[in-house]
Structure 1
C-alpha cells in the first residue's frame, strides 16, 4: 500500500488530479495516508468505491464531525458539527426535508427567467466598464450571490460582509480554528439578527418559511434555523462562483472544445455536466471525510471500524472504469456521470440550482460576449490560499 502523508501535496496542474492519486486508482484503489500527528486515514480513489463511501450509511459524516478536535489534520471540522453537512439520518433527513422543496427541478425552472435577467443585467454592466474587467467581482460572484440572496431573503447589499466570513469557513485542513470560529460566530450573530427582522416583517422567501417551521410547527431549534440558513447561503454561492471561473480557464486549455461549445449553445446543458466531471474545482485532493462505523472492505482493502475515510471525488471522476477516455474533455459527451454534487443523502441540495446558474451564465457570456477570453496566463493568476475550492482572487477578461 502506498506510503502517503497528509495533507497531500497540491496537484502540479489546475487541470488534472494529483498524479499520486491517479496512480493509486490504477494500481491499488485504496491507500493509507498519515498525518503529522500520526493519525491514519484511508483515501479512496475509484468511482464505484467513492460512490459507496458517499451513499453507504456505514460511512458516517456525523462520526467524522465528532472527531474534529482529535483529527483536525484531516479537515474534520468543516463548518460546524451542527451543520446539515455534518449530520446523518434521521436528523439530516428532518432538516433537509424542510428546505428541499425550494430546490426541486420545478422550482429551479421557475427561477430560470430571473437568473437569466440577472445575467443580462450583469453583462450590460460589464460592457460599460473599462477592459480588462474582473469577472470575479462583476459577474461570477455577483450572479450566484444575488440568486441565493433573493431565494433565502438576505439583503444583497450585505454581500461583502458575508463573503469574507464565507472565505474563512471554506478554509481547508490546517486552518486557524480561531479565525474560523470568529467567522462562524459573526455569521451566526448576523443571521440571528436577520431572523429577528424577518419575524417582525415576514416575506415570501425561504428564511421566512423556515421561521414558520420553527415557530408554528416546532420542526427545528433556533440554532438549527440559524445554522441551516448560514449553510444554504455559503453553499449557494461559493462553489458556483468558482466553478464559472474554472470552467472558463479549463475551456481555454481546450480551444477546440471551447469553439465547439460557443458555436452551438444547444450543447450547454450537457457540457455543464461534462465540465462538472472534468473541472478540478477542489483545491484539496479529497472531499469531506467520513468515518467507518463498522469493518468494511473496498476493492479488496479492509478498512477497520473507526477509520477516517477520504473520498477523492475529482480522481473518481476521471476513473476509466466509469468514463471512456476520461482525460479528454468532450462537451458533447453523452450520458455523463460524475460525483461532483456528491451522492446519497448528502447529494448537494442545490445541485439543480447550480446547474441552472451555470447554464445561464455560459449562455449569456458566449452569446452576448462571443469573443470573451481570459486576459492573463495561468502563471499570473492568484488563488486564495487554504481554501476548500479553487478560488481565484481576480479573473481579468477581454472580448
Structure 2
C-alpha cells in the first residue's frame, strides 16, 4: 500500500495525552499513514492539510460503513467496538451520496446564516445568565471556567433549539455524549451509552408528538410523520447527532480560546485595544487547537492514489486528522505550532469541509463571538489559576479540550 504502510502501524493513544506530539510523529511518516485505533482496528490517518482537503471533497470517499468499509462488511468490526456510535449509526453524519443529501436537506434550512444571526439576542441572554452564575459560583475563589462557562452556553443554545427543556434529560444526554467522546474509557461504557441515549430520545420524541413545540425536534418529527423519507431510527440518530456534536465543538473552542489568550497576554492586549478582531481570535483558535482533533471514519469507495507511492485501497478506512492538518508546516510554515492571532493566513479544516462541512459552524462562531468578549469585558482581571503545563487534556483522541480550566475572575 505504498511506503507509508508499515508492518507495525503506529498505535493511536486513546487517552489523547498529547495529540499534537502524536500528530508530529505521524506527519513525519507522510501525509497519509497507516495507524491503529483502539481495538486494533487499522485505518489511514490523513494529517496533511491539502491531502485532507482533497479527500473531504472527493466523491470516491464515503462515510457509510455498511456499504463501503471492508472490515465492517466482513464482520471484523462489530457493534461491540467502542467507536461504534461514530460509524455504525445511520444519520446525516454517516450517510453518503443521495442519503446524505436527503438527511442534510431536512435540517439545513434551520442553520442558514440568516436564521443563525436571528439567534444572537437569545445567545446574548444565555451568555449574561452564564456570567451571573459564574460570579455566584466563584465568590472570589478559583472556578472551573470550562464547567461553568464554556460548557453551559453551547449546551443551553442547542437544547433550546431542539426543545430539550427538562434538566434531567439534559444531564442524561450529557453523560451519554461524554461516554462517546471519552475514547480511553472502558469500551462497555460507550456500548451502553448508545442504547441509553436512544431510549432518552425516543422518550423525548413521544413527548413532542403529544405536545409539539416551536423547536427543531418538533419540526423533524412533523417531517417524519408527514411522510418525509425519514425513518424512525434516522430521526432518533439525527437528534443524537445534533445534541452531541451540536455542543462539543463549541465547548472546546471557547475553552481553548480562553486558555490561549490567558497564556498569551500580549495577544489579548491586541484584541482589547482593537488591533485584532475577535473573529481573528476564533479562527486562529480553530486552526491551532481544532475542537475535534480527529473524526472516525471515512472509507475509500475505490482505489485512490494520493501520490508519493500512497494508495488508499477500496474499502480502506480513513481517519480525518483535523488537529494535525491545522498545524501542517507545509501550509502554515515553521511556526505552525505557535498561537498567533496576527497570522495572515489562518486557513483550517477544523469545522469540516465539503459535503459534510459542519452545519452548525456559523452557530459555533456566533456563540464564540458573543461569549468571548463578554467574558473578558466582565472580568478584565481574569487569570489562570493553574500552571498552563498542568492543564490536563480530555481523555480522548477525538475531542480536543481540557478536563478543567481553573481561573480566578480577578479582584
What TM-score does the superposition give when structure 2 sets the normalisation length?
0.86
- Provide the aligned C-alpha RMSD in A: 2.7
Higher mean displacement: 11-20 or 313-322: 11-20
In 2, the alpha carbon distance for the partners of 1:382 and 1:221 equals 41
- Alignment equivalent of 2:365, drawn from 349, 355, 364: 355
Tell me the CA shift for residue 126 of structure 1.
Answer: 2.0
CA contact (8 A) 2:271 2:278 kept: yes
- Alignment equivalent of 1:327, drawn from 337, 342, 345: 337
Count of aligned residue pairs for this structure pair: 393
In 1, the alpha carbon distance for the partners of 2:37 and 2:178 equals 24
The equivalent residue for 1:294 is: 302
- 1:18 aligned onto 2:23: yes
CA contact (8 A) 1:383 1:393 kept: yes
Q: Cα deviations across residues 239-274 of structure 1 (Å, max 9, x unaligned)?
A: 211221122223334332233223338600122111
In 1, the alpha carbon distance for the partners of 2:336 and 2:182 equals 29
Change (3 A) 1:178 1:249: same
- Alignment equivalent of 1:7, drawn from 8, 11, 31: 11
- Alignment equivalent of 1:308, drawn from 317, 325, 334: 317
Q: Cα deviations across residues 162-198 of structure 1 (Å, max 9, x unaligned)?
A: 11111112233x7544322321111111111111111
Listed as ranges, the gaps of 5+ residues in structure 2 are none
Q: Following superposition of structure 1 onto structure 2, how do residues 179-218 of structure 1 map, counting pairs within 5 Å?
A: 179-218=189-228
CA contact (8 A) 2:288 2:326 kept: yes
- 1:101 aligned onto 2:109: yes
In 2, the alpha carbon distance for the partners of 1:144 and 1:309 equals 29
Q: Cα deviations across residues 270-302 of structure 1 (Å, max 9, x unaligned)?
A: 2211110111534x6x43222211111113322
What TM-score does the superposition give when structure 1 sets the normalisation length?
0.89
Tell me the CA shift for residue 360 of structure 1.
Answer: 1.1
The equivalent residue for 1:270 is: 280
SS of residue in 2 equivalent to 1:223: helix
- Alignment equivalent of 2:172, drawn from 148, 161, 164: 161
The equivalent residue for 2:53 is: 51
In 2, the alpha carbon distance for the partners of 1:119 and 1:19 equals 37
Q: Cα deviations across residues 300-354 of structure 1 (Å, max 9, x unaligned)?
A: 3222222222232222122233335433322133453210011111111111111
The equivalent residue for 2:133 is: 125
In 2, the alpha carbon distance for the partners of 1:15 and 1:30 equals 16
CA contact (8 A) 1:6 1:74 kept: no
SS of residue in 2 equivalent to 1:340: coil
The equivalent residue for 1:62 is: 64
SS of residue in 2 equivalent to 1:305: coil
In 1, the alpha carbon distance for the partners of 2:16 and 2:216 equals 39
CA contact (8 A) 2:63 2:299 kept: yes
Listed as ranges, the gaps of 5+ residues in structure 1 are none
